[in-house]
Amino acid sequence: MYTKLFKNLIDYSVALISLIILFPIFITITILLAIVNNGKPFFYQSRPGKGERIFRIIKFKTMNDKKDQFGNLLPNHERITKVGSFIRKSSLDEIPQLINILKGDMSLIGPRPLLPKYLSLYNENQKRRHNVKPGITGLAQVNGRNTITWTQKFEFDVYYVDNASLILDLKIIFKTFLKVIKRSDINVSEKVTMEAFNGKN
């Protein structure tokens, strides 16, 4: 009952109220990133959602598009801007995903939406992460984030699918708040983002 009815209502209500409250911050960050990223404050990327349906995720653009002499994008750690680094470390880059929630693509809580290229690499149990809407935060994010292995991430994702409830969601929201305040469990290596999933790790 919770996941089929009340969760969607809570998601929409909280996302709408949050966007209204955070609107001044949203506009400020948009202007700053538009300046440092040559008029491109947002990052769009295709991601699989519930039922593996592809949608476009919206985030603040924390990296520029600088390329090497051969036309290839520079490594992530060379493209992230100072403003982008602060926004990422404070998790402010996730704010635009509230729009994805209003559109029905995402939920506040759920497995993080990954790349479409990973779909063919999941085993049957891992595929079950797509039985629910992806979330801005989730069980894996509050239990290690980028410091745990892909196998562990998927175990948390599937556990959430099987045990989603209002109580669990409230616990995840509380732990997410603490993680953001403490800025803990963030991979601070020069790669900036986690190693790609290859079907094994």
Per-residue confidence (pLDDT) for residue 190, from 0 to 100: 41
Scan for tokens 């986690």, then name that residue.
194
pLDDT class for 184, splitting at 50, 70, 90?
Answer: low
Per-residue pLDDT tens for 8-52?
999 999 999 999 999 999 999 999 999 988 899 999 999 999 999
- Domain limits for position 97: 2-182
Q: Is the per-residue pLDDT at 76 higher than 70? A: yes
Q: Tell me whether residue 17 is in a domain.
A: yes
Find out whether 80 and 107 touch, Cβ atoms under 8 Å: no
Q: Say how many domains are in the chain.
A: 1
Task: Kindly report the pTM of this predicted structure.
Answer: 0.88
Q: Tell me whether residue 198 is in a domain.
A: no
First to last CA, the chain: 35
